[in-house]
Every structure is written in structure tokens, then in C-alpha cells.
Amino acid sequence: MKKKQSHVSCREYYSYKLQIRPSDKSVLLHSDRLFQQYVVNMYVKIETSRLDYFRSNQKQIRAELYQSIVDSIHNGEKRGYKIGKKFVLPHSFTCGPRDMLRMCLDAMALVQRYGKPDLFITITFIVKHNMHDPNGNLNPKNTCMENNSCCKNKYPKDYCNSTMFGDNSYPPYRRCNIGIYVKVRGKMLDNQWVVPYNPYLSAKFDYHINVETYKDIDEIFTYQSARWISPPEAMWRIFAINLSKIYPVVCVLQLHIEDHQWVTYKNTDNLSSIIENENTRKTMLTEFFRVNKINEFAQMLLGPTSFDDLRTFNGVNVGIFCEAALLYGLLNGDTHCEECLSETIIYEMPYSLRILFATLLTMCNPNNPKLLWDKFKPYIINDYVNENMPAEVVEVQALEDISSILESFGKNINDYGIVSFNVNIDDDEILMRMVVEEPTKLDIKRNFSCAATLNKEQQFTYNTIMEKVQDESSEIFFIDGPGGKGKTFYIEHY
């Protein structure tokens, strides 16, 4: 039997107060603006309470991966404060940095999956004609003023005869100087203060309605004076709406690989007691697997029941989550990487191809590096093949070259699953490769003879630097100048 709570939280109490009951004529819910002020005040109270808790418990709350805690116990460490990192704000805290990042990723995923929207309609309700409040010299204390210097919404806007693309990706909209002024909060405002709107829809529904479209500038008027919306603006609008609040039935699953979920604990906790707690291993994802095993309706939806299920395609465990997702068609292929390598193999030497392959691994994050390697391996290892090396040595030698390049990026070739064996290079081998690859073909006599070609400013810099070189004294020089002034020529030769 579930134990009854002896107290409730602030959020639960105010949720009860704000609940709509059919037979209850609540005075609170019928208090118009006083009700709105009450809701805002209670929201601020709850948010402040949550922030105070996280702020006052930063030294006690820590977070670490479950597997890392297990490894620490195996190594003899049982003190909670010796491992993990400080816990700042969870992703469940609305508008926190982790919550904002999650919503941004959701917005990008929506655009990637469904494409850019054609129309974006905003309706501002109890508002018929939206004028921005006076600010600046007219009202320096307006809430929109940033540091009492300028309006964060950039009002008043500049006059503009036609809609055009803006320098910062937000287009200036058509805003003519028609010489008409209206009184708003005791100030006379003209067209520079009008918030964009759709004349036809605003007149029809008696609300301030704005329609934004992705169509070309020439097609704007096809949509009843809809204004143009740029992709960056649409992104933050989708982001700001927070679709999880619109569709509460959609639950965001906290994904993690097996035994690598985040575990939060107090720094005074004993790590053994954390691991022994049966709830520690439970996460939203593992409980999702459990329900799919026992619930008949869930089994009809092809729900996965384990981590192995996510790695399985047509009854075969492919071993890698990414490869299984590719086989299911859930990820785009590596077409752009293949096209890049296909074009480059026509004119580049194998050494350059190895550098390019390492760059693609680090910068482009291909979905299946092994397929790329298998397809282009003959071209990447061609120079070693011509040296009549044994076949098994050739591949290892090329992979070691790529591995040494990845080391400079702070990456490890073994993390990409290109081959079934580990590619290991000791520190001495890495240093030797760096020395061999260091350019040594310096034409000293030619470089010094170029001093006669320097202009007056370059000559002054050259003489100043050479004096320090000859005196063997240390100095730092910063060479700056507009484009085309010969900085690269100067640096390459001196």
C-alpha cells in the first residue's frame, strides 16, 4: 500500500489552487488581471525556490556515470566526494542551459525531418493593433531597454520602401513614412513603432495577426501581405514555443548506452550503497524496455525490450547502434563523404588521401567509417602497395599514418571501428613520424635575398626582428595589416 504524504510541495499546492472544477465557482479563477498577477507571482516563487535549492546544495550534489561508480568501487574507492563532478542545473529545469540545448536540438531535428515550414502564423489575443511601447528618449525606463541604452527589439525601426535581406539574416520589412501619428501611452508614435501584422487577417478576426512565410520575396503578397521569415528566425521561433508544452503526450526519452546513465548523489554517500540501491540502475529507458516486455499493447508497437534489440536487424545483432540505425534507414548515409573522396582520388596522392580521411573522421562524423575505409582503402594504401610490402603490413602501416594524424586532433582511431583489431603506436613512433613529416626543405639563401623586395614598413619590421634574433633576446611580435598587404609572403620567408 502506498504511503500517504504528510506534506505537499509549493508546485503541488498551487496546482491544486489553480485546478478547474466544474461545480466550484472559484473567485481566484475569475479575478482577471489579479489572477494573472497571482499566477506570475507563484511561478516566480516556485522557480526561486528551485534555484535556491540547487544553489545551496552544489557542494553536496554530484553526478557520475553508473559504470564509472562501479569501476571506482572495483579500484577500492568508496568515497562519493572523490569521484564525479559538481551538479549544476538538470535538464528538467525549464530554460536552464541543458533544457535550452535540448529544445534547440529538437527544433533542428524537426526542420531536418519535415523541412522548413511554409507559413508561421502568430496571433496576439485582448490586442487589436500592436504598437511597440515608447522607449529611448520617450521612455528611458521601458522594460525593453538594455542597460538604459537601446531597445532589445530594435524599435523604432528604420523606414524602408521595400522588404529586403538584412545584414544579420533578419530582413528589414517595408515600412513607409506615411506621416500618420497615433497616441500610445501619452506619446505620439508613427509607422516606425508598428509591430508587423497581416492587414487582411487582423481586419477579419479583430486581433493582431502576423503571417510569416518561407516563400521568395516576390511571392510575399500572394499570401495576403505575409512578411518573409528567415531560417534563423524560424529556428528560434520553433525553439521558443517549446513543442513539448504543446504536445504533452510526447515524452522525451532519456537515452544512454548500457550502464552509462548519469547517477546523482550526495558527496557524503558511500558508493557501495549507491550501487546496491536497486533504483540506481533504473532509468526512463530501462523502464521503457521493461514495459515493452510485459505489456501486450506495447509489444504490438514493435517496442524494443533491451539494448540488444536496438542493435539487432533482421534477427542479427550487428553490434553497433549506429550500424543498426543505418540498416533501418533511420540515418542519412555518408554520401557527402563518399563524394568528397571520390573526387579527390582522381588527382591526390595516397598520403594526402590519408590526411583527408582523418579530417573527415574528425570533422564530418560519418555514420559508418568502416564502409568508407573498405571502399576507398585501395587508393589510400596504394603507395605502400607499390613498395612491395606484405598485404597485412600495408593496411596497418596506412592505419598508423591515419592514427598519428588523429592524435593531433585528440582522437583515437580505435574509437571508429574501422578494423576488427586495435591500431597501437607508441610515443617514440609518433615522435619519429612527426620529425619525418616536418618540412625541412628551406632555401635559406633565397629567403634572405628576398629582403631587397620588402617595402618600407616591411623592412622596418624585418630589421627589428633580426636585431632580436642576432642578440638572442626573446620578444613577441604581432604582425597585423589589411588583406593583400603581403603578410603571408612576409611570414613564409622570414
pLDDT digit string, tens, across residues 361-370: 888 888 788 8
205 lies in the same domain as 153: yes
* Last residue within a domain, chosen from 219, 246, 273: 246
Say if 141 falls within a structural domain: yes
Per-residue confidence (pLDDT) for residue 377, from 0 to 100: 92
Separation in Å, CA 439 to CA 400, 433, 436, 489: 20, 12, 8, 17
CA angle 57/59/65 to nearest 5° reads: 100
Per-residue confidence (pLDDT) for residue 65, from 0 to 100: 61
416 lies in the same domain as 482: no
User: Rounded mean pLDDT of 452-468?
Assistant: 81
Among 81-85, 119-123, 192-196, the range scoring the smallest mean pLDDT is 81-85
Spatial distance between the Cα atoms of 316 and 339, rounded to a whole number of angstroms = 30
pLDDT band at 223 (very low <50, low <70, confident <90, very high): very low
Lookup: cell for 105: 536540438
Per-residue pLDDT at 383 exceeds 50: yes
Spatial distance between the Cα atoms of 331 and 322, rounded to a whole number of angstroms = 8
368 lies in the same domain as 454: no
Lookup: cell for 68: 564509472
pLDDT per position as a tens digit, 159-170: 888 877 655 556
20 lies in the same domain as 141: no
How many other CB atoms are there within 10 angstroms of residue 266's CB atom? 13
pLDDT per position as a tens digit, 45-57: 888 888 887 777 7
Counted domains in the chain: 4
425 lies in the same domain as 342: yes
235 lies in the same domain as 185: yes
128 lies in the same domain as 165: yes
Residues 6+ away with beta carbon under 8 Å from 480: 487
339 lies in the same domain as 229: no
11 lies in the same domain as 111: no
* Last residue within a domain, chosen from 17, 34, 56: 56
Per-residue confidence (pLDDT) for residue 428, from 0 to 100: 66
CA 264, 267, 272, 274: dihedral to nearest 10 degrees?
A: -30
Lookup: cell for 368: 559508418
Per-residue confidence (pLDDT) for residue 440, from 0 to 100: 44
User: Rounded mean pLDDT of 300-329?
Assistant: 84
Among 290-294, 357-361, 438-442, the range scoring the smallest mean pLDDT is 438-442
Backbone angles phi, psi at 437, to 5 degrees: -80, -15
Spatial distance between the Cα atoms of 403 and 397, rounded to a whole number of angstroms = 10
Segments forming the whole domain that contains residue 464: 444-493
* Whether the Cβ atoms of residue 423 and residue 403 lie closer than 8 Å to each other: yes
User: Rounded mean pLDDT of 258-285?
Assistant: 80
Instruction: Using the Cα atoms of residue 141, residue 143, residue 146 and residue 149 in order, give the sign of their dihedral.
Output: negative
* Last residue within a domain, chosen from 437, 465, 482: 437
CA 220, 223, 228, 232: dihedral to nearest 10 degrees?
A: -140
Per-residue confidence (pLDDT) for residue 67, from 0 to 100: 66
Q: Round the CA-based radius of gyration of the chain to a whole number and report it.
A: 32
113 lies in the same domain as 239: yes
pLDDT band at 76 (very low <50, low <70, confident <90, very high): confident
421 lies in the same domain as 449: no
* Whether the Cβ atoms of residue 236 and residue 285 lie closer than 8 Å to each other: no
pLDDT per position as a tens digit, 11-21: 888 888 888 87
Per-residue pLDDT at 250 exceeds 60: no
Residues 6+ away with beta carbon under 8 Å from 206: 128
pLDDT band at 85 (very low <50, low <70, confident <90, very high): low
145 lies in the same domain as 107: yes
Residue type, 70: V
Mean pLDDT of the chain: 76
Residues 6+ away with beta carbon under 8 Å from 376: 341, 345, 353, 357
More confident site: 107 or 385 = 385
pLDDT band at 233 (very low <50, low <70, confident <90, very high): low
Closest by Cα among 120, 335, 386 to 236: 120
More confident site: 171 or 366 = 366
Say if 473 falls within a structural domain: yes
Among 4-8, 118-122, 387-391, 457-461, the range scoring the smallest mean pLDDT is 118-122
